[in-house]
Amino acid sequence: MEYLNFISKEDKNLLQKQHYKVVGQNTGVKLCLWTKRSLVDNGFCYKEKFYGIKSHRCLQMSPSLMSCNFNCIFCWRIRKLIPRYPEKIDAPEEIKEKSLSAQRKLLSGFKGNPRVNMEKWKEAQNPNQVAISLVGEPLLYPRISELIDLYKKFASVFVVTNGSIPEKISEIKPTQLYISMNAPDEETFKKLCNPYFKGAWEKYNESLEIFSTKKNVRRVIRITLIKNFNDNFNNSNIKKYAKLIEKANPDYIEVKSFMFVGGSREVKGLSLDNMLTMQEILNFSKNLEKEINYKIKDYKEESRVALLVKR
C-alpha cells in the first residue's frame, strides 16, 4: 500500500491546515496547546502538575496518524480514521528522527515572538517527554514496542491506548501507560466507542487484566465523562466503573470531562452542554471514592480533570 493511497493529498492538506506535521508513511507531530502556553509562561499541562513532566519539553506524536479501530463519538481529533495500517511502514529509528526534526520545525516560528521564554525555547529543542497520544490508536503501529524503547533512551514516554489490542498491552514498556475507560458496561461502550470489530468489549476487559499485572510501568486509567451519556451518578453506574477499575488495578485514575472541540463538533447530538464542570467532575470522583480504595489527590480546573490515587 503506497503512502499516497493511505493518506490522500486532500487529507494531508487538511492535516497541515490543522498544524500537524506529517512525516513518513503514517506518523504525525503537533505542538500541544500547553506546550505553546508554557513557552510564553502562560500555564502548563495537567500532566506537569500531576506527574512532574515539563510541558515545554513534551513531544506529542502518533505513529498511527490515520489509523484507529474505534470511532468514538466524543473524539475531538480527526474523524476519518480507519482500522488499517499501510503495508510499507517506517522503521522506528526513522520515526524517532523525523518526529524530533518535525518538532523543531514547528517550534522554529516561536523564536521571533518577544513573549517567548527563550530559555524554555532552547530546552524545547531537545524533548525529554514523549506523548504517544496525538491521534489514532498507537498500538496499531506494528513496531510500537521498539519505538517506545528508542524514545526511552532520552525521554519519559506516555502512551494512551483504547485497550483494544491486549497482546500489545502485554508487550510494551512505556514510562506511563494509559487505558481509556469511556463506558461502565458493554452497551454504553458500543454506543460511545463504535468499535470496528466484533468482540471489542471482551478484548478491552482482557487488556484491563493484563494491564493490572504490568511491572515497572506507571499505570493510569482515564475516564472521560460525557454529560447525559456515561456520567450517571446512580449507584449502579458507579459500581460498574468501580468493578472495571478493580480489575485494572491502576496506580492512578484520571476523571476528565469531554471537551466539545475539534472533530466532536461534527457529531450530531453533542454540544457544549455535554461538557461537565469541574465541580461535576469532583462530585463524580467523590462518589467513585466511596466504592474504590482511591482518593482524590489533585485537580486542574482549566482541563476539567481530577486525579485519584490509592489510599
Indicate whether 160 pLDDT > 90: yes
| CATH code of the domain containing 290 | 3.20.20.70
pLDDT digits (tens, 9 = 90+) for 196-241: 999 999 999 999 999 999 999 999 999 999 998 888 877 789 999 9
Number of domains the chain is built from: 1
Distances (CA, A) of 94 to 134, 143, 157, 171, 311: 18, 12, 17, 21, 43
Closest C-alpha among 72, 131, 19 to residue 263: 72
Q: Give me the pLDDT at residue 150, please.
A: 98
Between residues 75 and 251, the one the model is more confident about = 251
- The model's pLDDT over 96-145, given as tens digits with 9 standing for 90+, comes to 999 999 999 999 999 989 999 999 999 999 999 999 998 899 999 999 99
Tell me, what's the pLDDT at 269?
Answer: 67
pLDDT of residue 3: 39
- The answer for residues whose C-beta is within 8 angstroms of residue 236's C-beta and 6 or more apart is none
Question: What nine digits make up the cell of 260?
Answer: 466539545
pLDDT at 8 over 80: no
pLDDT tens per residue, range 30-87: 999 999 999 999 999 999 999 999 999 999 999 998 899 999 988 877 767 777 777 7
With a cut of 90, say whether residue 289 has pLDDT above it.
yes
User: Whole-prediction pTM value?
Assistant: 0.93
DSSP state of 67: B
Domain residues for the domain of 114 are: 3-310
Coil vs helix vs strand at 21: strand
Least confident of 130-144, 186-200, 256-270: 256-270
Average pLDDT over residues 169-186: 97
